[in-house]
Each structure stands twice: as C-alpha cells, then as structure tokens.
Amino acid sequence: MREIYTIIRKAAPWDANVCIEGENGTGKELIARAVHVSGLRRDQPFVTLDCSTIAEGLIESHLFGHVRGAFTGAVASRQGIFAQGHTGTVFIDEITELAPHLQAKLLRVIQTGEFVMVGGTQPQRVNVRIVTATNRDLRQAVAKGVFREDLYFRIAVVHIAVPPLRERRTDIPLLIEHFLREFMASRQRQDLRGLTPRAMTALIDYAWPGNVRELRNWIEQALVLADGDMIDLEHFPALTRAAHDAMRSPAPLAPLGLRLEEMERWYVLETLRRVDGNRTKAARQLGISLRGLQYKLRRYGAHRGSVEPNLVGGGTAGGNNLGPMRQWHEPPGASISG
C-alpha cells in the first residue's frame, strides 16, 4: 500500500484525472476521497455516483441533470453530479457500466468542460476533477471494444491499482487495530484489549472475498459479541461457518480441457451454486458488479429457469468446433434467479 500512498501524495496537488481499479470492497472510494482531501479542491464539493446501482435509463440524468418535463416523471428540474460538484471533485464508481453513448458524452465533458442537461438545449460550463473507479480491468475492456480507448486515456491520466486484501496480508493487523479504535471510540468501550493470537492468525489466513469491507464488518460484529476484554474465534461466526463449509464441501475441480471462455463460465456458475443462487453474494465473491453478473448469466442462457447446455464436441452453427469435449452441465442450483 505504500506505493498507493505515494501515488496519492504525488497526484493530489495536480488536477489530473485519476482512475482506480480493484475488486469490490478494497476501499476505492476511500482512496478517491484521499485524493480529494489531499488536493487543491479539498474545500470544495466531493460528489459520488455509483453507476452499478442506477437503472441504465437514469444514469444520464444523474450525470448531467434534467429539466422539467424531459421525461415521464420529471416534474421538476434536477441537477446532476457535474453541476453539484462544480469546482470540486466528481467520483464516478463502476464506470465500465456506462453505455457507449454515455461514454461519448462523458468524453465531451472532459474535452470541452461543458455538458447539456437531459431535455435541455443550453450547454453549461463546469470545472471539476474527475476520479473514476471500476472492479474490472479497463485495458481489457478497451481491447474487447466495450470501453472507449480515447475515454480511457482521458480518465486514467493517473492509474491506481488496488490489490485485494488476500494479497496484502501484512495490512490485516493494522486494519484490525484501526477498526477496533474506530468502533471502541464510537461505542465508548475502552475495556477491550484486542484479539487473541489464534483469532488474529485465523483472520490473516482467511481469503477475504469481500476484502476490507468484509473485515470491517467482522470487527464490528465481534466487538458487539465479545463480553470480555479479548476477541476470540467464537466472536467471528462467519469464520466458523466458512471453516465448517470448507471441511464439509471442498471446492470442486474444474473439468480438464476447458477453454478460457468455458472456464470462466464454469467458475461463475460454480460460485453461484456455492452461495445457493444468491446473485449479490456471487457478484461480490467474483469481484464484479451485480449488473455484470446478470449480463454474464444472460450470455450463458442461465438468467432464468433451469439451463443445462450440452457442450459435447462437434461443430456449431457458427463453425466453432469444441473438439472432443465431455458432456457438461450447469452446476445444480446455478440458475436460481434473484
């Protein structure tokens, strides 16, 4: 993380746009805020927009605002994040969720410093620093043609890659200490001395699919459950369940001979099966947005009902010969919707 702190320190005094990449829960918004408060715009607004939580048809309005009567339900004019963040910083999370036409409009805002409200005709000037984030590899998205290359170069003047928590385990004790102090102060509890050695070891060894967000949640929960002055293993119910599930149901091995595309499909559906069809949990474990998971399931034909595609070798209508593949079916429960 020292490298990230160095980049933040160097980038903060400049107005260059920053792009942050990392899995869900790695603290991308905290890094964005650190860039803002360390820079020259620290006393100006910091406005956020998470594109993955907004219906595609409404994202443009959230970005640029709309005038009264622009669409059904627009009973009053409303500012978007660019107007709200004028002179400050605009943080756009999950930017890969933007449709191509919105990518083009965002590019124009960056190039000209102007935007037009939905339903409006007059361009408005804006002066903001743009910080973006995504849980996907933007360069791969550019290579696949789903993200504009010219926009990538505009938003990623400064690029910050945030490693998942499992790749920086030495940070875990420091984060635990930070969260303990935070929660102890807010709850006026000063009797707690810390974690037992076995609890600390177990947390360091855990895979942390939810990253820092999951760790913070667990520490808060343990503080509530702990009666004495030390936090032990029994105060982490999720850790106990994870260990039990691992012993009861070891992770299956992927079939041999799968191509990369087929391996991704198998892994996505297997993850969905292991969380009993809960798409929100599956998306979090896969490090993608819920909308991204739903897109993959539609592509697999597994977005509704029970789907068991036959991947036996042989030519397809598109001429794609999979070769001597074995019969393969979706893992049971992988097509549960919700």
Summarize pLDDT for 106-133 with one digit per residue, the tens: 999 999 999 999 998 899 999 999 999 9
168 CB burial (10 A radius; 0-12, 13-18, 19+): middle
pLDDT at 156: 95
Percentage of the chain beyond pLDDT 90 is 51
Which two tokens mark 327? 């019969």
Q: What is the pLDDT of residue 72?
A: 83
Separation of alpha carbons 115 and 229, rounded Å: 56
Residue 58's alpha-carbon distances to 74, 84, 102, 269, 289, in angstroms, are: 11, 17, 11, 30, 17
pLDDT band of 333, cuts 50, 70, 90? very low
pLDDT at 219 over 80: yes
Per-residue pLDDT at 325 exceeds 60 = no
In the predicted structure, residue 23 carries a pLDDT above the cut 80? yes
The pLDDT score that the predictor gives to residue 28 is 94
Which residues are paired to 49 by β-bridges? 92
Measure the CA–CA gap between 125 and 83, rounded to whole angstroms.
9
Amino acid 190: pLDDT: 74
Gap between the Cα atoms of 276 and 281, Å rounded: 9
Assess contact for 311 and 322: CB atoms under 8 A.
yes
Instruction: Write down the pLDDT at residue 236.
Output: 92
Residue with the bigger pLDDT between 234 and 266: it is 234
